[in-house]
Amino acid sequence: MKSVYFDSAATTRVRSEVISVMQDVLENQYGNPSSTHAFGRASKSIIETTRKAIAKELNASPQEIIFTSGGTEADNMILRCAVRDANVTTIITSPIEHHAVLHTVEELRNEYDVVIEYVKLQECGTPDYQDLERLLKANNERKLVSLMHVNNEVGNILDIAKVSLLCKTNNALFHSDTVQSIGHFKWDVQETPIDFMTAAAHKFHGPKGIGFAFIRKNNSLKPFISGGSQERGFRAGTESVHNIKGLETAFVLAYQNLEEERSYVEEIKDYFKTEIKKAIPEIKFNGNCSDNSKSTYTLLNICLPMSAEKALTLQFQLDLKGIACSKGSACQSGSGKGSHVLEQILCEEDKQKPSVRFSFCKYNTKEEIDYAISVLKEFVEK
Residue 329 has pLDDT above 60, yes or no: no
Query: Measuring CA to CA, how many Å separate 199 from each of 31, 211, 264, 315?
Result: 26, 5, 23, 29
Q: How far, in Å, CA of 263 to CA of 9, rounded?
A: 17
Closest CA to 213 of 204, 226, 200: 200
10 Å Cβ neighbour count for 28?
10
All structural domains of the chain, each given as residue ranges with its CATH number in brackets, are: 4-12+258-381 (3.90.1150.10), 16-256 (3.40.640.10)
To the query of whether residue 331 is one of the catalytic residues in this protein, the response is yes
Q: How far, in Å, CA of 210 to CA of 241, rounded?
A: 10
Q: What mean pLDDT comes out for the span 154-175?
A: 97
- Between β-strands 143-146 and 173-177, what pairing exists: parallel, antiparallel or unpaired? parallel
The 10s digit of each residue's pLDDT in 179-191 is 999 999 999 999 9
Query: Measuring CA to CA, how many Å separate 117 from each of 104, 109, 326, 346?
Result: 14, 11, 29, 22
In this prediction, residue 19 carries a pLDDT of: 98
Residue 334 has pLDDT above 80, yes or no: no
Please report which helix (H) or strand (E) contains residue 297, including its range: none
Work out the pLDDT band at 55, boundaries 50, 70, 90. Answer: very high
In this prediction, residue 309 carries a pLDDT of: 84
In this prediction, residue 338 carries a pLDDT of: 80
- Between β-strands 211-215 and 65-68, what pairing exists: parallel, antiparallel or unpaired? antiparallel
Which residue in the list 303, 331, 347, 361 is annotated as catalytic?
331
Residue 158 has pLDDT above 60, yes or no: yes
* 381 compared with 62, residue with greater pLDDT: 62
Work out the pLDDT band at 1, boundaries 50, 70, 90. Answer: low
Q: How far, in Å, CA of 44 to CA of 346, rounded?
A: 49
3-state SS assignment for residue 117: strand
Residue 85 has pLDDT above 70, yes or no: yes
Per the CB < 8 A criterion, the answer to whether 104 and 146 are in contact is: no
The 10s digit of each residue's pLDDT in 94-131 is 999 999 999 999 999 999 999 999 999 999 999 999 99
Q: How far, in Å, CA of 370 to CA of 359, rounded?
A: 15
Most trustworthy range by pLDDT among 177-191, 216-230, 304-318: 177-191
Work out the pLDDT band at 254, boundaries 50, 70, 90. Answer: very high
Q: How far, in Å, CA of 64 to CA of 27, rounded?
A: 30
Is the C-alpha dihedral spanning 130, 132, 135, 136 positive or negative? negative
Q: How far, in Å, CA of 297 to CA of 3, rounded?
A: 23
3-state SS assignment for residue 113: coil
Q: How far, in Å, CA of 340 to CA of 121, rounded?
A: 13
Residue 337 has pLDDT above 80, yes or no: no
Residue 333 has pLDDT above 70, yes or no: no
Residue 331 has pLDDT above 80, yes or no: no
Closest CA to 176 of 194, 189, 190: 194
In this prediction, residue 58 carries a pLDDT of: 98
Percent of the chain with pLDDT over 90: 90
Query: Angle 173-174-178 (CA atoms, 0-180°, nearest 5)?
Result: 155
Helices in the chain by DSSP H: which ranges? Answer: 16-28, 38-58, 71-85, 99-112, 129-137, 160-169, 241-256, 258-279, 308-311, 314-320, 340-345, 348-351, 366-381
